[in-house]
């Protein structure tokens, strides 16, 4: 589906249309449209036809979106080409599982595929004609493994994967994956309270020539999160406000395929997290609620829903909004039955500790928090 997405992005750029304006014109969810044009989801026939008409593509988009059958007698690729095809195909399956159920259970599978490819590279048995393509495929698997390990709470292994990915991306000349690896390292630095290193990575990305708009936007988000940790209230909020202002018009044909998830939900969630980190829980609540509503539209019982439910519970707890805590806590209990995310559960345990032992918590809410802690 890369051909379809590339063609749509080119047509949008030619006509000066943003993704959000296109979504409004067609009455489609912007997040869904973003996933489609970045190759993460197949477009429906209706969407392909609507885009074709809106962008005056004369049937080209409908043709590109049509399912392609394998010709009779065609054989599955073998050898190095087969390895590359398997690694590329594994990415989509691993990410789909992560979105629905969290990264904890599937992280070992990602590591297995990544390490198998890494070992072949280290042994030096890849033909020259395929080396860059192979390095690129292994770099992408390392990034996916790094993200899943991060969600699984395996921090050191996650960082190793991101660093390996960065090296392989540089060797293969894959700048978009190099940017992604750097962004993931900055994300990890923010998570572990290393704002100085996160700022350094974000600034490096922002000073690179011709950095795609959505990559620059995400670097500003990392800057905002790091500045909030440093207590720089004004600049942190300014960075997030700037990212919000640029979101609608930031789509570009130069954006990497991985940038599909840089959307309204992502920016809104980070705004809420920054406000919460700065001690303004009441201002954080509506933003975290909006991020939760947006992620529920795609995966109502998925990892993102659990993540933002816990963030919202944390904000309600800080604001002493006890009645509002109850329905969120009950929904979290249900999500814990299917979503395995060590990162989210670790945060939840901290919030449950505040509810259980914090001054002023009503006894009925403390009891509910204790029950949830047993499942966590």
pLDDT digits 0-9 by tens, 12-44 = 878 888 777 887 888 777 767 777 777 667 788
* Residue 2: predicted pLDDT: 56
Query: In the chain, where are the structural domains located?
Result: 2-65, 283-376
- The tokens for 363 are 């006894």
pLDDT digits 0-9 by tens, 284-310 = 999 999 999 999 987 888 999 999 999
Decide if 180 contacts 143 (C-beta within 8 A): yes
pLDDT digits 0-9 by tens, 242-265 = 988 888 766 666 778 787 778 889
Cα(213)–Cα(262) distance, integer angstroms: 11
Task: Please state which of the ranges 53-62, 71-80, 126-135, 137-146 shows the lowest mean pLDDT.
Answer: 71-80
* Residue 65: predicted pLDDT: 78
Query: Pick the residue with more confidence: 14 or 329?
Result: 329
| Residue 348 confidence (pLDDT) above 70 | yes
Query: Pick the residue with more confidence: 115 or 37?
Result: 115
State the pTM of this model.
Answer: 0.81
* Residue 133: predicted pLDDT: 92
Decide if 83 contacts 134 (C-beta within 8 A): yes
For domain 2-65, the CATH class is mainly alpha
pLDDT digits 0-9 by tens, 127-170 = 989 999 999 999 999 999 999 999 999 999 999 999 999 999 99
pLDDT digits 0-9 by tens, 351-374 = 999 999 888 999 999 999 999 998
Cα(214)–Cα(147) distance, integer angstroms: 19
* Residue 70: predicted pLDDT: 43
Residue with tokens 């990575």: 201
* Residue 71: predicted pLDDT: 40
| Residue 72 confidence (pLDDT) above 60 | no
* Residue 147: predicted pLDDT: 95
């Amino acid at each position: 589906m890369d051909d379809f997405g590339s063609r749509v992005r080119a047509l949008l750029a030619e006509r000066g249309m943003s993704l959000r304006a296109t979504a409004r014109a067609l009455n489609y969810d912007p997040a869904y449209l973003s996933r489609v044009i970045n190759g993460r989801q197949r477009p429906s026939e209706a969407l392909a036809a609507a885009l074709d008409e809106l962008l005056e593509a004369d049937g080209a988009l409908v043709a590109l979106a049509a399912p392609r059958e394998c010709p009779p007698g065609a054989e599955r690729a073998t050898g190095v080409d087969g390895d590359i095809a398997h690694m590329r195909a594994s990415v989509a399956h691993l990410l789909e599982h992560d979105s629905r159920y969290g990264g904890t259970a599937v992280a070992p599978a990602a590591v297995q595929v990544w390490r198998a490819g890494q070992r072949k590279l280290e042994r030096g048995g890849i033909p020259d004609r395929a080396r860059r393509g192979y390095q690129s495929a292994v770099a992408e698997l390392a990034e996916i493994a790094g993200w899943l390990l991060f969600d699984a709470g395996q921090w050191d292994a996650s960082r190793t994967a991101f660093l390996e990915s960065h090296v392989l991306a540089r060797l293969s000349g894959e700048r978009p994956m190099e940017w992604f690896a750097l962004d993931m390292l900055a994300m990890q630095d923010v998570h572990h309270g290393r704002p100085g290193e996160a700022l350094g990575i974000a600034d490096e990305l922002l000073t690179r020539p011709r950095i795609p708009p959505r990559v620059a936007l995400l670097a500003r988000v990392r800057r905002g999160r790091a500045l909030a940790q440093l207590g720089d209230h004004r600049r942190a909020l300014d960075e997030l406000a700037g990212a919000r202002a640029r979101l609608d018009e930031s789509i570009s044909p130069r954006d990497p395929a991985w940038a599909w998830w840089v959307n309204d939900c992502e920016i809104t969630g980070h705004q809420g997290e920054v406000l919460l980190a700065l001690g303004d829980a009441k201002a954080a609540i509506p933003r975290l609620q909006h991020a939760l509503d947006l992620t529920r539209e795609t995966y109502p019982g998925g990892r993102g829903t659990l993540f933002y439910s816990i963030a919202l519970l944390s904000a309600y707890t800080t604001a002493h909004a006890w009645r509002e805590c109850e329905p969120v806590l009950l929904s979290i209990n249900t999500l814990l039955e299917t979503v395995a995310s060590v990162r989210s559960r670790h945060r939840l345990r901290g919030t449950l500790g505040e509810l259980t032992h914090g001054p002023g918590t009503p006894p009925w809410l403390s009891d509910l928090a204790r029950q949830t802690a047993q499942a966590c």
